[in-house]
Structure 1
Amino acid sequence: MWPLLAMWLASVYAVASVVCYMVYAVDKAAARRGERRIPERVLLLIGLLCGWPGGWLAQRRLRHKTAKTSFQVKFWLTVAVNLAALGWLCWGY
């Protein structure tokens, strides 16, 4: 069971991370052009739904949302919640 669960979780995180990275990139491009932005709650929700590794990578590579302290606090809270849920899923029941 564990190898199957691990493969499934890795796939979910990989897909969600790619999606999250792309959404951050779209938001960064919109910011540069002065166009309508993607709401922060959407970025945070995608991160919460297993996309946070891609969001973290996008923040570093694109230098996007790194200076806004309020966003960073919320981002890391969603990471903590996601990891707590992962821990519960893997070891809690």
Structure 2
Amino acid sequence: MFIHIGDDHVIQSKDVVAIIDHSLISSSSIIEEMIVSQRKNRRVIESKENQAKAIVITSDVIYFSPLSVYTLKKRANMMTTLNKLEDFSEEPME
């Protein structure tokens, strides 16, 4: 399934490694180092208006999302729930 993470970015949910709060960047030197390293490799996609609330880490790219961690979590959970629903649609009539 796919998740819309804001700024016209849609990613596959299977590629998501982590979704973390943007405010944690300054409190973790490991996260800072990872982002600096990925910026050098041009694998960071910043939020258009520089209003990032969350960082979405995928297997290839780091996205700065204007959506909150809570909103992204709800979207990811919604996709999981939709995947688990049984198909109760009627068979097409011939």
Normalising by structure 1, report the TM-score.
Answer: 0.29
Normalising by structure 2, report the TM-score.
Answer: 0.29
